[in-house]
Amino acid sequence: MRTLLIILAITTLFGCEEENENMDGFNLANQIYISYKNVDRQNLFDNLTEGSFSIEAMKLFYLVNDEPIEVTIENGYNMGSIELTSDNILEVFTNPSSSNIIEETSEYDIVENIAYLELSETDTDTIKTHSLSKNLSHSTATGNCCYFVVSKVWYNGELVWEIETGGVIEIMKK
User: pLDDT tens digit string along 108-164?
Assistant: 899 999 999 999 999 999 999 999 998 654 333 444 457 789 999 999 999 999 999
- pLDDT tens figures, 22-49: 434 567 788 999 999 999 999 999 999 9
Q: Which domain holds residue 145?
A: 2-172
pLDDT band at 59 (very low <50, low <70, confident <90, very high): very high
pLDDT for 162: 97
User: What average pLDDT is seen over the chain?
Assistant: 81
**Mapped to the 3 state alphabet, what secondary structure does the chain carry?**
CHHHHHHHHHHHHHHCCCCCCCEEEEEEECEEEEEEECCCCCECCCCCCCCCCCHHHCEEEEEECCEEEEECCECCECCCCEEECCCCCEEEECCCCCCCEEEECCCCEEEEEEEEEEEECCEEEEEEEEEEEEEEECCCCCCEEEEEEEEEEEECCEEEEECCCCCCEEEECC
Q: Flag whether the pTM goes above 0.95.
A: no
pLDDT for 79: 56
Count structural domains, the chain: 1
